Structures are given as C-alpha cells and as structure tokens.
Structure 1
Amino acid sequence: MNLDELALQIQNMRKHVALLQRQSEQEKTQEDIELVTALLKEVYLALEKLQRANEDLQQHNEELSNTQQSLIAERQRYQELFEEVPDAYFVTDTKGLIQEANSAATTLLNISKSGLLGKLLEIYLLEKEIIAFHLKLNHLRDHAEIPDWKMQEWEVNLRPHNRTPIIAAVKVVAIRNQQGKLVGLRWILRDISESKRTQGKLQWAEQAMRQALAKEREFSELKSRLLTITSHEFRTPLATIYSSAELLEYYRHLWSDERQQTHLRRIQTSVMHMTQLLNDVLLLSQDETSKLEFNPTPLNLVEFCRDLLEELEQSDRSQHAIAFSSKCQCTPANLDAKLLRQILSNLLSNCLKYSPIGSTVKFSVTTANDQAIFQTQDSGIGIPPSDIEHIFEPFHRASNADNIPGMGLGMSIVKQAVDLHGGEIFVESAIGAGTTFTVILPFSTNLHI
C-alpha cells in the first residue's frame, strides 16, 4: 500500500468513526454513550498520530530520495574527476590489489581497465624492484595507523605491457574508515623518464663544464708553476755556461789543456741538463694538450738499453758504476722507443743524481710472457714514506731533495709513459738505503712500422 492509499483509508476510518458516534448517541444509555465516545476519541487520536506518522514518513522518503540523488551526483562528479586526473590514478587494497584505475593508468601501463582490475600493482614493476616494493608496502601498512601519517613518495621502474620500461614518480596516501583503520591506498604515478633523461644530460653537461673549468684552472696553475720552476732551473746552468765561456775567452791561452777541458765539460754538462729540462717540458706540454702519442715498434731491448747506458755514463763522467744485466728472449719487444727512453733515462738519471759518488747503480731488463720488466736500484738518499704517494705528481719533489737540482717533472713523465704502454710501475724505498723502481710493460700488438 502506498502513501496515497493509506491517507484515503484514514479518511474513510474517520467517516466511519463519526457515523458510529451518531448511531451510539441515538440507541444507547448515557454511560454507553460516554464509553463509546471515549473509545472513539482514542481511535481518532490514533488515527491522527497515524496521519502525522504518514506525513513524516512521506517527508523522510522525499529527503531520502534527495540524498540518493545527491549521492549519485557526487559519485558521478567523483568519477569524472577520477578520469580527468592527468596522472595514473589507482585505488588498491592494503596489499596493492588494484580496485579502481583511471584512463591515464591504462595509458601508462598500456593495458585495458578490465586487464588492470583485480591485479597486483607489483606485477608491472621490474623484477629487480619487487622486493624493495614489498618492503615499502609493509612500511606503509605498519605506519598508516599513525594519525600524522603523510603522503609517501619515491621512484620506481615500471614495465608497461609490450613497451620499454619507464621511470615513474609514485605518491601514496592512506584510505581509512570512520574508526581510522587502514582499508586501502590511493596511488598516483607519473612518467618522469623524459625529465630524468633531460636531467641526466644537464648533469652530464654541468659535470663536463666543471671538469673543463677545473682542467683549465689546473693547466693555468701548471703553466705558472712551470714558468717559475723553469726560470729557476735554467738560471744555474746558464750561469755556469756563461762563467766558463767567459773564463775560456780571457784565460784559455794561460791555462793548460786539462783546465780548459774542465770548463768545456761544465759547458757540455750544463747544455745537456738544459736539453733534458726542455725535453721534459716539451713532453709534459704534449701530454697536457693530448698530443702525446703511443707508437710501438719492434725493439732489441738489450741493444737499446746498452746504447742508453753509454750516453748516461758519458754525461755522468764515470762518477758511478752501472751494473747491467739482462734475461731477454730473442724475439723483438713491441714498445714505443721514444717513451721507453723517457722512462729509463729519467729513472737512471735519478739513480745517478741521488746516489753518492762512487756507488753502484743496478739496472736489469727481463722479458717473459710478452712483457718487459725493467728494474733500477740505487743506494741513495731514499724517498720519505710521506712523499711516495705523491712522487708521480707534476712538480712534486721529495722533502729531502731540496738541495739537489730538479723540476719534479721526471717521475710524472715516467708515469705517463708507462700508462700509455698500459703498464705498471712500483717503488720500494727507505731513507738512506736507496730506492728500487720496477716497471712492467706489456708488448703491444698495435705496431706502427
């Protein structure tokens, strides 16, 4: 029975009560009339309450209908907003099972909405990130009951259906019921692959610029130090040359041949020293401008080493003894002759320079397993432990070598030449007991003949 039928029935009941009241007044005694009248009043009041209840129910039904219409409208507006969100929007349970997904989510993962619903979000992650994702999810569940729990953010690598992986920024918020208990999660995912690539390029460019600026500053400092040290180092041999030449000019007719030869040897030694300085500076500048080349050729190492030793012994004027030994195979060694000369001449020159006059310098060369092993050993002043780690840096000189001429370029050049060969260099030293250098150079297969 609907509300209109109930109202019509109440009206009919009122008519019947009124008729019954009139009939009772004509046929009954006064007591009966009063009794019936009281009964009819109660029925009438009951009918009035029923009428008011009917009106209240009708008003409540109207309000309920309006509420239902409002809820439908709100649900429609929510669905429209849900679909209009430009980022991928997911609603999941606490385990990450997808319950809702918007159009952007289907586009991001390249799969239909029906293919998404009921699936775990983790299956669209790269396999290597699933464990980390579980840890994140457990952390969310463990801390979501905290009242001030805030939105969580991180980045993941997603694997869309039939597409290349992408990088996505993730934002997660909790869904709670009226009692504050966690019942689900809202996820927003945004593809940031392109921005990451752009950021990576910018970072690379910024890093390259910083490296270029640092290299420029280093090169500027190097040139300044080179100018200062070179001018200082050239001053002594130039003064020696000038002094000996001037003395020879004015007094050679008064001197014996032996005394004249002494000054001529001073001039020759000073010229050789300046030539070595110039060679070191030239080689260093070539490396700084990336012009230092590696050109290996077949070499007879024993002959090469003997020729080099002959030159060094002449410049040393037999002040030291050089003990040379070799264990070389008959096959030529494929090494760069120019760079090898720089390595050995600098090492042996240092042995002679830092060893006491009359001492013996040991030099050996061995070939095995397509590599050459060179070793120099002296009994000189040695290198302090604090300086060993810096000896291959340009312009660095050991703290106990202040009174011995030098620019601090020789060992830097040795290291560069060894590196160009793809080799290794090792040093052992003790103060007052001498120094041993071992150089290992692999034979090159890239020959320039």
Structure 2
Amino acid sequence: MDIFIIADDDTSESLKNSIQKFGHRVVGRNVNITKALNLIDEIKPNIVIQSLSSIDENRWVELDKVIRTKGLSVLYIISRSQEEVLKKELPGKSVNYIIQPFSDEELNHAIEDSLSSSIIDETGYEIHLMEHLLNEVNFAFILTDKVGIISYINKSAIELLDIENKNSSLRGFLLQDVVNLLDETTENPIHLIFSSQNQPSDKTYGEAILLTHRGQKLNVLYTFKPLHNLAEEMIGFLLSFQDISPLKELFAILQRKNELLEARLTERTNNLLNQNILLEKEINQRLRFEKELEQALLKAKESNRFRSNIVSTLSHEFRTPLTTIQSSVDIIERLIGNSPENDKIHKHFLQIKKSIKTLSEMLNDVLEIEKADNQAELELSVIKPLDFFEELIDNYRLGIGSKHNIDFQHNALPMEIQTNPKLLSQIMSNLVSNACKYSEEHTTVRIIVLFKENELQIRVSDEGKGISNEDLPHIFETFYRSKSVENIPGSGLGLSIIKKAIDALHGEIKVKTSINKGTRFTIHLPL
C-alpha cells in the first residue's frame, strides 16, 4: 500500500519507520501543505496520513475538503485535546483519526480501517447489503480498489485459496500477491489488467488453474471486470471464481464409461446381429447425453459471467445458473446409474442439490422482500375462501406437512371474499413451513380459519420448541435468526416476508409462545 505523509520531519520519520514494518511503502512526505498536495497529484498514493499538530484549527475544514475532492483516503493524527475540536469542525463526516501516543500495531489497524471505509463509501450500500449473501454461496468473490488493493473477500475465496488463517480479511493486500491464476494449457501466469478500458482480448474470463497458498492446483472458472457507481465512475474491480474440479472429474469418469460402453456395443454388434436396432438406439442415447452435458458445461461458463453482476443487483435471472446446475446434476446422475461403485459420486450430488435448494430459497425470500417493498398498489380479486383454504391444506399434507398431522378447522365462512390470493397464499405457506420446520415429525400443526364481523382470523399453531423472550421482539426483522435454531436451514427472511404481506393487506399478526410447548400465530385481516 502506497502512503504519503504530511508532517514535520521528526513525526514523518517516526511514522515511516512504523509503517514499513507492516509491508507498506512511504512514497512521499512533506510538511508544506501546498507542496504536499502537488506531490500527491503526481504520485497518487492510496492513503494520506496528515498530522494536525502544525495546522491552525480554522484551516481543518478547508484542508479536509481539498483532500476529499481528490478522492483520497485520509488518516488524521491528533492529540487528545484536538479530538473534540475535530468532531466539531467536521460534523457528520466519516473522519478517520488516531490519537497520540499509539503503538505500531494500532497505527497499522487505523490505516487499514481508513482504506476500508473509503472503499465502502464509494461502492455504496450494495456491498454492505450483499456481504451476507456472498458468504453463503459457493462462489469466491474478491473486491479491490482501482489499483488492485483488496477491500473485501468472502469465505468461499478464503477456503478455495487455502489460506491458513481462515479469519483473515486480507484487506490492504494486492490482489496479485494473494491470487495466482495460471493458463490451463501453458500454466503461465495470467496477468489481470487493472484498467477501466478492459477489452475481451484481455482474457478477463474463462477457465484457469488456481494455485492455492499450499501449492494445490484447482480448475476454476473466473471472471474479472471493473465496477462502477451510479455515476458510471469506475471505483474498483471484482474477481469471482468457482472450483470446477469436481465437474472435470465427473466428465473424465463419463468419458471412461462412454469408452467402455462403446466397446460393449461393438462386441454385441459383432455377436448379435439381430439386435442392431436396439444397439443403435443405445448409441444415439449416449450421443444425446454427451451433447447435453457439453451444452450444460457451456451454460455454466456463460452463467459465471452473469454472476459477477450480483454486487450491483439481484435479478430474477439469477435463478438461471441454479436451474442449469440442477439440470446438469440430474442428467449426470441418471447417466451414471445407481451402481454401488458410484455411491461416493451420489453423495456429492446430494450435497450439490442441498446447496442449490438453500441458495434458491434465500434468493426467493430476498426477491419477495424486494417485491413487498416496491409494491405500489395492492391488487384485489374475489375468491371462495373455503375452496381456497382446502386446496392449500391438501397441498401441505402432500408437501411441506407430509411428516406432520395437519389439522384444519373453520367456522361458517362467507361464500366469497375480496383479497389478494397470492399474498394470502404466501402468508399461509410461510407460517405452515415454519411450524413444520421447527417442530418434531408426527406432531400436530393446527390451522383454524374463522370469520368474525368483517374480519378473517387465521391461527397457525405447532407443538415445537417455542420462541424465547430474548428472540421474540426480533422475529420479524430481516435476516434475524435465533441462536437456538442455527442448526436448522433457513435465511431469516420468512417471518419478515409474512409481516410485509400482512401489512400490505392492512392486517396485523400476534404471537403467543411457550418454551417446549409450541407457538401460535394469529392473523387478523379486514374484509
């Protein structure tokens, strides 16, 4: 990381000695503000360290404005007595500072925090919002600033790179020092070009070999491209990559099986001429599977380029690569059959399917949240409530509630009501799904629908573990999950979606719970 120091000679020398201990480079220093700013324009450092001890307090605002205009990260060095003055002079701004005296380690942490906060300010709310999702997917994501210094790396990237310290953020490191991509044919290093004018000839996506920190070689699909803010200004780069080594291994297994199959077909053809028609059908089937597999791998490469846009948007088209992978797994699983020697492969298939299901459910929940937030006007239609609820109950008994006793009760319901059937179905499905998920199999999930004085009242109760008093105030918050259910899959969005749907219908929801006895949700919807 390149650093410029604005301070007197003694302070400047002391800071230089401390900074260089952590691998940073001091590219310039000057005590004169005007000369320093001119040098900064020429050198373009990553961060400026400014000592305020020799500057009048009435010039701080002017100096801060000039440095921020240049788009630089700034770390101020102040005394204890200057802290309140700094906050008063620069109110409402994200100011990074460190109070003298301080240790070398404290200075290094302050430098990394200053750079990190600058990157987050530029890229906006999207990066903060997406960090949760990025840590849940099986794709590696690394964000850098405009010169290639890492500002964010997700858990999958840490694991694929096989970094010894799994808790390391690697912020402040150069991307080239952390990621080593090799050409899959020549194994020559792939040089990622840090430029806003990247062209396709720069080979910013494709297959490559990833050399991990422990020397292991992995086959990966990667994408490298610039990121822009809403003003179309280039603010950094995104590198994403996915381990495709298991797919390569499966493809090799299929090739070997195809070779064996071809030899067996040739032998049968030579010995059993009367079965030529059946043999031709089997060969055509093999060729069709081979073609479908090739198309699936091609779609996986195309979808990888699309995934890089996840940092700036969540789109309905995000489901496309998931569907492609699911289809490919189904095709491969049918092709290799159920022989005992393939048990290990089927275990990998099961793990892939579970991951796809988890991510799909999370994306569906996020998109439902987005729909609820952006819904301008509620669309109502007429439904027959008894038919509507009986159809839902039948579906639950065959699907999400198949391992529970679904008890449905109701009073005299009106022939017709006016509501939004999609929102009502969504509310019911989420409540019943939660009731089944957080209660033991073969217990009772009770659904009661009552018509009372122009109001539809719905009660969904279970015999599960209940909700603690500590968790109860937070259950409708987005992404909130109780520590007591961390071992149960979920995104923390279900109840939030329910609350937004009920609000859209101008209703209300109440909760009554008892530990180890169960929970009852009661919904009141005006008609």
Shorter-chain-normalised TM-score: which range? 0.3 to 0.5
| Structure number, greater radius of gyration | 1
**TM-score under structure 1 length normalisation:** 0.43
Looking at secondary structure, tell me which structure has more helix per residue. 1
